[in-house]
Chain A
Amino acid sequence: MKVVTGVVGNDIHVVANRLMELSLHARGYEVFNLGVNTHLEEFFDAVVETGAEILLISSLNGEAEGWSREVRTLKAKYKGLDNLVMMIGGNLTVGSGNAEEIEKKYKKYGFDLVCHQVDLNTGLDSLEAFLEQKSLEQRSAS
């Protein structure tokens, strides 16, 4: 499966981004890593260009909060992204916040999976579980 990933906004924190690339690759995904300092449009452009099934956005400095509000409107401008699995992880708020509320908020923004301060492998496990569930549902629907 193809994954587009990167760090959103003017965030330059690169370490986790590199480790995510390594881990995704090891789990058998085809990874398109846009690196740090990536703007929302670039993510969606890359999804269209590569035909990726998964978009995995990360944030360390909490900037994601501001950017994510525009996700739904922006995504709607692109045709054929309805089946795209949207995941976001990292530090999803500036300062501190309640994980449950953060998760709710980001789901409203249009993300299927929200990992606020979850370690890398747990996060990727939850992605795999989600994908499995999704394919089961699709099979039973058809």
Chain B
Amino acid sequence: MSLLQEEREIILGNEYVDAFDFEEVEAFVKNASKELFISHHFKNKQKMLVQPRGGFPTYKKQFALYEFFVDANVDVLPLTIDSNTRLNDYGTAQKMLRLSEENEMDMLNGYPLINHGYRTTRKMITNFNKPVSLRHGTPDARLLIETAIASGIFEIEGGPITYLLPYSKNFPLDKAFLYWKYVERVCANYSQLNEPINRESFGPLTATLVPPSITIVIQLLEMLLSLEEGVKSFSVSFSQQGSMLQDIVTGAVIKKLAKHYAEEIGCGDAAIHLVYHQWMGAFPTNKDYAEQLINMSTVIASMVGADKIITKTREEATGIPTKEANAKTVADTQYTLRILNGLPNVVDEEEEEILTLEVKAIMEAVFNDPADTLWRKVFNSIKNGVIDVPFSPHIINHNTMITIRDAGKNIRIIDRGNVPIPDRCFEFEKSKCDLNKDTTGIVNDIIHDIGIMQ
């Protein structure tokens, strides 16, 4: 028996798992409907795929949410996991699920997949026969993704960096890399049976003034960590940044460089997709304004040429959205995409060149780290600040890079920290900003820059 299989048996021997049947699950994936695979839809797509967010504790409510989404002409269904499950606390999730079922009141902020189990969840997924995307935020997602794939969920979001640095203060980053290696291998193995399982990275990170160079570097590294384990279908992603031009430039550079680096490691045969998140920062409380913002995001996603868009709702500022508000966003976004025709081709060669140089310089610094494997190189690079994510709560993150918005609302780096931004690029970034301010002025600008959409 392989080491991986031994580890899988330990993971699936968890007391909250009801007899995991490896052979039956393998046969299920092998014979599963192509419609369940988002990789199949990407291959044959005519339009940008629309995916909302959403997860409720009970089977009944999740089923009702999916009915609403299907009525609204959804392309990809979400399954958002509750926060206890994300922290592997299945006992609390179990208790809260029971309370939610008994009291008609939601005691969890998502679907506790482990407690429902794959046999039950699979009934729901195969019933709708649409691709489902797993949304979670789990550093140790080994049991979760085993259960997800066994349920018929063939897209797995996340990664060791993007699911840790924005969410956790002190979960060990090196452990996260190893747990995600398991995820990549399991996804790669199942990918040989039918259409490939799609892996998606979480580009928004902290969604707070993260410069595009950092976003792209982390997307590329998580892509490489996934492809080197044998994953054949991968989505890089980023969220609306606040300037249409910067989004278009980011989209162009990430597409070009994803292909470049995939080929560099001999994985040019993998399919790479681009996902765009509607605005992930602070939302306006005015629900009509929120809808305008969502609509604008859809227009920019089209300009960027995204393969999939992930939507927000008019209730974003108020709490967990109702299924009605959620379905409305799907219908509205589909409408905008349908009427949005004859888009111009916008290219800014100078901005593209600068961003490409920045990304390549950081990537090179990561590759030049003396560690023996890619994940260790990446780990060291985060530890020593070569990669620095603004506003990450994690203790390993350097927090020395400072970014603000220029007059065009582009995110610019005014303090590089330890990130190897080439001098020429740094001068370019600074030349776009007013640097004659003291720290109080800059802090006020940052507060303003974070809240630009409110």
Cα(A120)–Cα(B442), bound, Å: 13
In contact, A15 and B450 (Cβ under 8 angstroms):
yes
Nearest residue (CB) in B for A33 is B399
Query: Nearest B residue to A12 by beta-carbon distance?
Result: B393
- Identity of the chain B residue whose Cβ is nearest the Cβ of A18 in the assembled complex: B391
- The contact sample of 29 A-B pairs, CB cut-off 8 A, is A12-B167, A12-B169, A14-B206, A14-B391, A14-B392, A15-B391, A15-B450, A18-B390, A18-B391, A19-B446, A19-B447, A22-B402, A22-B443, A23-B439, A23-B440, A23-B443, A25-B439, A26-B443, A35-B169, A35-B393, A36-B169, A36-B393, A37-B169, A37-B170, A37-B393, A120-B443, A120-B447, A121-B440, A121-B443
> Which A residues have a C-beta under 8 Å from some C-beta of B?
12, 14-15, 18-19, 22-23, 25-26, 35-37, 120-121
Q: How far is the CB of A46 from chain B (nearest CB, A)?
A: 14
- Known interface pairs A36-B393, A120-B447; 7 further A-B residue pairs with C-beta atoms within 8 A, sorted by A's residue number: A12-B169, A15-B208, A22-B439, A23-B439, A23-B443, A26-B438, A35-B393
Count residues on chain B whose CB falls below 8 Å from chain A CBs. 21
CB contacts (< 8 Å) of B206 on chain A: these are 14
Asked if A26 and B167 sit within 8 Å, CB to CB, the answer is no
What residue in chain A is nearest B206 (Cβ atoms)? Answer: A14
B178 in contact (CB, < 8 A): no
**Interface positions of B from 380 to 397, Cβ below 8 Å from A:** 390-393, 395
Give Cα distance in the complex from A19 to B446, angstroms: 8
A37 to B393, CA, bound (A): 9
Contact A14 B439, beta carbon cutoff 8 Å: no
What is the chain A residue whose CB lies nearest that of B441?
A26
B82 CB to closest chain A CB (Å) equals 16
| Given known A-B contacts A14-B392, A36-B169, A36-B393, A26 and B439 have beta carbons under 8 A apart | yes
Residue of A whose beta carbon sits closest to that of B438: A26
Kindly list chain A residues whose C-beta atoms are within 8 Å of the C-beta of B438.
26
Chain A hits for B208, CB < 8 A:
15
Which residues of chain A come closer than 8 Å to B391, judged between CB atoms?
14-15, 18
Distance, CA A19 to CA B441, complexed state (A) = 12
Query: What's the nearest-Cβ distance from chain A to residue B139, in Å?
Result: 14
Contacts of B170 in A (CB 8 A): 37
**Residue with the highest number of chain A CB atoms closer than 10 Å, among B169, B170, B444, B450:** B169
Shortest distance between the CB of A67 and any CB in chain B (Å): 16
A25 to B439, CA, bound (A): 9
- With a cutoff of 8 Å between Cβ atoms, the chain A residues found around residue B444 in the complex are 121
Contacts of B390 in A (CB 8 A): 18
What distance in Å separates the Cβ of B436 from its nearest Cβ neighbour in chain A?
15
User: Which residue of chain A has its CB nearest to the CB of B399?
Assistant: A18
Nearest first, the 6 A-B pairs at minimum CB distance are: A26-B439, A14-B393, A37-B169, A36-B393, A23-B443, A19-B443
B 418-454 binary contact with A (CB < 8 Å = 1; else 0) = 0000000000000000000011101110110010000
Whole-angstrom distance from the CB of A79 to the nearest CB of chain B? 28
CA–CA, A114 and B451, complex, Å? 25
Chain A residues, CB < 8 A from B439: 22-23, 25-26
